[in-house]
Amino acid sequence: MGYQETIPGVVRGEVTGTQCIRRSFAILRLLAGGDHDGEKLVDIAGALKLSHPTTHRILKALEQEGIVERAGGSQRYRLGAEAAWLGVGPFNRCPITRLSAIVLEDLAQATGDSIFLSVPSHNDAVYADRRLGNWPVQARGVHVGARRPMGVSVGGRVMLAHLGEARMKTVLAENADRFADWNCPMDQVLRGIEDTRAQGYLVDDSLTRQGRRAMAVPVRDVGGRAIGAISIIAPTARLGSDRVARLLPLLREGARRVGTALFEQRMAS
Amino acid sequence: MGYQETIPGVVRGEVTGTQCIRRSFAILRLLAGGDHDGEKLVDIAGALKLSHPTTHRILKALEQEGIVERAGGSQRYRLGAEAAWLGVGPFNRCPITRLSAIVLEDLAQATGDSIFLSVPSHNDAVYADRRLGNWPVQARGVHVGARRPMGVSVGGRVMLAHLGEARMKTVLAENADRFADWNCPMDQVLRGIEDTRAQGYLVDDSLTRQGRRAMAVPVRDVGGRAIGAISIIAPTARLGSDRVARLLPLLREGARRVGTALFEQRMAS
DNA sequence: GGAAAACTTCCACATTTCGGAAAATCCGTA
DNA sequence: TACGGATTTTCCGAAATGTGGAAGTTTTCC
CATH number of A164's domain:
3.30.450.40
Does residue B188 fall inside a structural domain? yes
Question: Which residue of chain A has the CA closest to B126?
Answer: A85
Strand runs labelled E in chain A? 68-70, 77-79, 114-121, 124-131, 147-149, 202-205, 212-220, 226-235
The residue from B85, B105, B131 where one domain ends is B85
Closest Cα of chain B to A246: distance in Å?
32
Per-residue pLDDT of chain A (269 residues; tens, 9 = 90+): 222 332 222 223 445 678 999 999 999 999 999 888 899 999 999 999 999 999 999 999 999 999 999 987 778 999 999 999 999 999 999 889 888 999 999 999 999 999 999 999 999 999 999 999 888 777 888 999 999 999 999 999 999 999 999 999 999 999 999 999 898 999 999 999 999 999 999 999 998 888 999 999 999 998 899 999 999 999 999 999 999 999 999 999 999 999 988 887 776 65
pLDDT score for A3: 29
Residues B44 and B131 in one domain: no
Q: Which residues pair with B126 in a beta bridge?
A: B119, B147
Total count of domains within chain A: 2
- Does A141 lie in the same domain as A76? no
B77 lies in a domain?
Answer: yes
- Give B191-195 contacts, CB < 8 A, sequence gap 24+: B192/B151, B192/B154, B192/B157, B192/B158, B192/B161, B193/B151, B193/B157, B193/B160, B193/B161, B193/B168, B194/B161
Same-domain check for residues B69 and B126: no
H or E element in which residue B266 lies: helix B241-268
Which residue in A has a C-alpha nearest to residue B84's C-alpha?
A: A87
End residue of a domain, out of A85, A108, A140: A85
Whether residue A257 sits in one domain with residue A135: yes
- The residue range of the domain holding A146 is 94-268
In chain B, which residues have pLDDT < 50? 1-13
> Are A34 and A125 in the same domain?
no
Assigned domain for A231 exists: yes
Q: Which residue of A has its CA nearest to B90?
A: A84
Please check whether residues A120 and A229 belong to one and the same domain. Answer: yes
Distance in angstroms (rounded) separating the CA atoms of residues B8 and B17: 21
Residue B234 lies in a domain: yes
**Does residue B248 lie in a domain region?**
yes
From chain B, pick out residues whose CB is under 8 angstroms from the CB of A28: 86
The domain that holds B39 is classified in CATH as 1.10.10.10
Please check whether residues A29 and A153 belong to one and the same domain: no
**Nearest residue for C15, CA–C1':** B2
What pLDDT is attached to residue A6?
26
Contact status, residue A218 vs residue A161, Cβ threshold 8 Å: yes
Q: Are residues B107 and B27 in the same domain?
A: no
Task: Mark which of B36, B63, B85 sits at the end of a domain.
Answer: B85
Are A173 and A252 in the same domain? yes
**Does residue A12 lie within any of the structural domains?**
no
Choose the closest CB to A90 out of B84, B122, B128: B84
Whether B77 and B209 map to the same domain: the answer is no
Which nucleotide minimizes the distance between its C1' and the CA of B4?
C15
Closest residue (Cα, C1') to D11: A53
Do the chains contact at A86 and B29, CB–CB below 8 Å? yes
Residue B2 lies in a domain: no
Residues A164 and A259 placed together within one structural domain of the fold = yes
